[in-house]
Chain A
Amino acid sequence: MTTAVHSATNAGQRTRRTRWEKIRQSTKFWRGLIAGIVTLVLWEIGSRWDEWFDYQLPFLGLIPPPSAVVVAWGEVIPQYGYWESWYLSFRRVLEGFLAAMIIGIPFGLLLAVNRYMREIFFPPFEVLRPIPPLAWVPGSLIFWPTNEMSIAFVTFLGAFFTIVINVLGGARSIDIRLLRAAQSMGATRWDMFWRIVLPATLPSIFTGAAVGMGITWEVVLAAEMISGGGTQGGGGLGFFIWNSYMGGSLEQIVVGMISIGIAGYLCSSGIRWLGDRSMPWQRLF
């Protein structure tokens, strides 16, 4: 019976099981798990200290205990507004991020391969780059007709500069011997661009994307808090936190913060996954 079951399992399942076994047997896994549980327990005790001992611990006593956060989370999960906040923030991040990629990657590559373009565009670019995205918020609120557009614009800027500078740096530091090798094998300029410059720049593109994605989340949330939840624009996880703060719900603030953490993690995992997929040769290192 057992042998029959065993032979029936296909290779894929077998690998998955061994991987899970490997995780279960690793000290790293247990250490991480125990550390997490201990932290939660200490946090719970610390936050509830005043209920039991009539004394509020500094700092920790002000934070809602994890159990209360879980309860608050349970309350918001069925609510439409909570998921709409997710949706709005996600949409803004992806829009800004994609626009930054679509414009930033070709722009960075253009600056890298063309000296004249670099001489013309690089100085103004370098002047604009150090300006923090949030410093653009007031100006863009005035300039763009709707709040939504100004949030999109600021989000775009957050990722744009990082992506361009990474693509430019990556493409400029290509080993010249690779280009010469291609040239000596009879590659045209077009071939060299698509088959050498682009793949050689991919690692930098993904580095830029990962960093840019992080900045986009920061910028979106701050912009949402600033622009507020009016009828035009607003909403989103940033506004969710701000709203909870105004309503004095500490638990919901924490729920909002953890939600952002999860959202950011999902996005960076996505980028990592894509990077792994498109750069199989990098997995060896």
Chain B
Amino acid sequence: MNRAAMNPEQNPVQTKGAISIRNVTKIYDPEGVNVMAVDDCTLEIQPGEVCMVVGPSGCGKTTLLNAIAGFHSVTMGEIYLDGELLCGPSKPKADQGADRVVVFQNGALFPWKTLTDNVAYGPYVQGKLGKAESRQKARHMLAEAGLGDFLEKFPGEVSSGMARRAEIVRALINDPKVLLLDEPYRAMDELTKSIMHEALLEMYDRTRVTLFFITHDLEEAIFLGDRVVVMTTRPCKTKKILNVTIPRPRDYRVLSSDAFRQLVDETNEAVHEEALKAFEAGEREMA
């Protein structure tokens, strides 16, 4: 379901950033012990869609994200971005050109660069902007994200919430077609999280970039997403896809609506089933 169609007056329809994951299988092979992380996973993501991915811990979500990002190849299948092959069994696409940028699990700002220099890194190394211009643009975007007082601070000097916001700005400055987020708000308190959500939605409404967002938090998944993809336990494939029909713009009042609660229950059921399976599989392995 395309949200832009529901709010036609608000935003242009995004045409770039369609991800097509076709029959992807990934087998890790460290020292001959095969670990199948992803098994025949197929998923079509529309341009400008917010695709939320949930699933049991260790099921292979990060593996799938890394494949989309082109950090490693896959064993079988292909991944396309707007019809262009990103990742296949032979090799991931080498030159990236920052069309898909990653926000990592646990954060990965460069500790030796100030927030401004972190954000300015992308446009500068791609040669899009000179040193001064890229810093200028970085300062501008950070200030827009409410980080104007922390421009010349090192990541170690700001709170984890600010660091995460800066990291998202660092991704967005590259004007990517796809933003890949790996549990960006994990281990954040509820209050910070809700502020981060509002900031993310606000950013999304402006850019309409395709989001591939991994999380463990089901309410977060439904609050933010157009679709929620529930993954099976390892090896992961899509178990269930829920369409979130709650209209945008959404705010915190949505959280108490019946439609929202019902979606949470539905997702919870699917995830719980898989978590149980994962637990039992773990017990079998231990025995």
Q: Is B218 an interface residue (CB 8 A)?
A: no
B112 touches A180 (CB 8 A): no
Total contacting residues, chain B, CB less than 8 A? 29
| Distance to closest chain B CB from A232 (angstroms) | 46
Instruction: Fill in one digit per residue for A161-186: 1 if any B CB lies within 8 Å of its CB, else 0.
Output: 00000000000000101101111111
Q: Is A284 an interface residue (CB 8 A)?
A: yes
Among B101, B105, B125, B156, max chain A CB count under 10 A is at B125
A199 touches B110 (CB 8 A): yes
Residues of B within 8 A of A (CB): 66, 69-71, 96-98, 100-102, 104-106, 108, 110-113, 121-122, 125-126, 154-157, 170-171, 174
Q: Which of A177, A185, A284 contacts B125 (CB 8 A)?
A: A185
Q: Is A285 an interface residue (CB 8 A)?
A: yes
Known: A177-B108, A181-B102, A284-B156. A186 touches B69 (CB 8 A): no
Q: Which residues of B contact A177 (CB under 8 A)?
A: 104-106, 108
* A-B pairs, 10 with minimum CB distance: A185-B122, A186-B98, A177-B108, A186-B126, A281-B154, A199-B112, A187-B125, A181-B108, A191-B125, A284-B156
Q: Is A196 an interface residue (CB 8 A)?
A: yes
Known: A175-B108, A191-B125, A281-B112. A185 touches B69 (CB 8 A): no
Bound-complex Cα distance A285 to B112 (A): 12
Bound-complex Cα distance A183 to B121 (A): 11
Closest to B96 in A: A186
Which A173-218 residues sit within 8 Å CB-CB of chain B? 175, 177-178, 180-188, 191, 195-196, 199-200, 202
Known: A180-B102, A185-B101, A185-B125. A284 touches B110 (CB 8 A): no
A200 touches B112 (CB 8 A): yes
Q: Which of B100, B111, B125 contacts A182 (CB 8 A)?
A: B125
Closest to A187 in B: B125
Known: A183-B71, A184-B98, A186-B174. A178 touches B108 (CB 8 A): yes
Q: Which residues of A contact B122 (CB under 8 A)?
A: 185-186
Q: Is A145 an interface residue (CB 8 A)?
A: no
Q: Which residues of B contact A184 (CB under 8 A)?
A: 69-71, 96, 98, 100-102
Q: Which residues of A contact B71 (CB under 8 A)?
A: 180, 183-184
| Distance to closest chain A CB from B99 (angstroms) | 9
| Distance to closest chain A CB from B91 (angstroms) | 14
Bound-complex Cα distance A158 to B236 (A): 53
Knowing that A175-B108, A281-B112, A285-B156 touch, tell me 16 more A-B residue pairs with CB under 8 angstroms. A177-B104, A177-B105, A180-B69, A180-B104, A181-B108, A182-B121, A184-B69, A184-B101, A185-B174, A186-B174, A188-B125, A191-B125, A195-B125, A281-B113, A281-B154, A284-B157
